[in-house]
């Protein structure tokens, strides 16, 4: 497995070279976005309007950070990943419409997202869930916030990362998913678990 340090915006070739199990560290601007951002950005797109930031070639972070305002300046207090599977239903369309190149999250995403990532050239980067104090240390600057009216966790936070990682390539742009591999292994291991339980 290889290790990469990448800077946003990402080019398609940057993400096409990645394989599941590779380790990535990121620099540059990253946008947070979870349930409400997906819902509202896609609603706007249907009306022919654009969301307040351009996701093209950028990194979407499934994260509702804990932020604090000191004077006029926001600071990241804790910013770990949220459970990505909640966005399963909307992510394929989000990738297609907005051209996002990488998604950072936890827990993995389902088949249609794996296919969308292969088709449009995007990857899923797994961050350690709950490791939010560690991640906060990598966000050096907050460039702004959009859609704060949805509440702190659901807004789009524009964060500048420095050496954010280690992130594990969980889904690559070639149709491979660590999560699908683990699911297959778990299905095989289930017999062992059942035998411990006398089932």
Partner 1 sequence: MIDKETVENRVFELLKKASTGVPPDVRKALENAHSRESEVVPKMQMKAILKNVEVAETNSLPLCQDTGVHIFFVKGNLKLIDSFSEFEESIRNGLKRATEEVPLRPNAVHPITRKNSGDNTGVRMPYINYIPTDDPWLEITAFPKGAGSENMSFMSMLTPSQGLKGIKKFVLDCVIRSGGKPCTPTVIGVGIGGTSDIAMHIAKEALLRPIGDRHPEKDMAELEEELLRAMNETGIGPMGLGGKTTVLDVHVEYAYCHTASLPVAVNTQCWTGRRARARIYENGKIENMEG
Does 78 participate in binding partner 1 (rule CB under 8 A)?
A: yes
The verdict on whether 38 is a catalytic residue reads: yes
Phi-psi map region of 150: left, alpha, beta (phi>0 left; psi -120 to 50 alpha): alpha
Question: Residue 36, interface with partner 1 (CB under 8 A)?
Answer: yes
Q: Which residue has the tokens 């380790």?
A: 23
Q: Which stretch binds partner 1 (CB under 8 A): 8-16, 46-54, 58-66, 90-98?
A: 58-66
In which residue are the tokens 């910013």 written? Answer: 79
Count the neighbouring beta carbons within 10 Å of the beta carbon of residue 113.
Answer: 25
Binding to partner 1 by residue 77, rule CB under 8 A? yes
Among 37, 79, 122, 159, binds partner 1 (CB under 8 A): 79
What is the nearest approach in angstroms of partner 1 to the Cβ of residue 99? 27
> CB-based contacts of 186: which residues, under 8 Å, 6+ apart?
none
CA dihedral sign, ordered 10, 12, 17, 22: positive
106 scored as a contact of partner 1 (CB under 8 A): yes
One residue of 11, 68, 119, 140 binding partner 1 per CB under 8 A: 68
Which of 38, 62, 120, 143 is labelled catalytic? 38
Angle at CA of residue 89, ends 88 and 92, nearest 5°:
80
Among 28, 99, 153, 175, binds partner 1 (CB under 8 A): 153
Minimum distance of partner 1 from residue 23's CB (angstroms):
8
**Dist. CA 61–CA 159, nearest whole Å:** 10
Say if CB 132 and CB 82 are below 8 A apart.
Answer: no
Regarding 131 and contact with partner 1 (CB under 8 A), the answer is: yes
Residue corresponding to tokens 């022919």: 48
Residues that bind partner 1 (CB under 8 A): 1, 21, 23, 36, 63-66, 68, 77-80, 82-83, 85, 106-108, 126, 128-134, 136-137, 150-154, 166, 168, 170, 178-179, 181-183, 185-186, 189-190, 192-194, 196-199
Instruction: Return the active site residues.
Output: 38
């Amino acid at each position: 497995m290889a290790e990469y340090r990448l800077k946003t915006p990402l080019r398609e070739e940057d993400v096409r070279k990645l394989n599941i199990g590779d380790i990535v560290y990121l620099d540059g601007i990253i946008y947070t976005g979870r349930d409400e951002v997906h819902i509202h950005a896609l609603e706007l797109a249907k009306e022919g309007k654009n969301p307040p930031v351009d996701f093209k070639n950028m990194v979407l972070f499934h994260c509702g950070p804990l932020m604090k305002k000191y004077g006029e300046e926001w600071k990241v207090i804790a910013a770990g990943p949220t459970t990505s599977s909640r966005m399963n239903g909307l992510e394929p369309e989000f990738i297609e419409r907005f051209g996002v190149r990488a998604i950072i999250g936890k827990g993995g995403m389902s088949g249609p997202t794996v296919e969308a990532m292969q088709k449009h050239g995007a990857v899923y980067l797994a961050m350690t869930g709950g490791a939010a104090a560690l991640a906060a240390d990598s966000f050096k600057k907050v460039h702004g916030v959009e859609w704060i009216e949805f509440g702190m966790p659901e807004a789009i936070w524009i964060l500048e990362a420095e050496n954010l990682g280690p992130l594990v390539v969980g889904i690559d742009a070639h149709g491979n998913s660590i999560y699908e591999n683990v699911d297959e292994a778990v299905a095989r291991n289930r017999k062992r678990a059942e035998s411990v339980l006398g089932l």
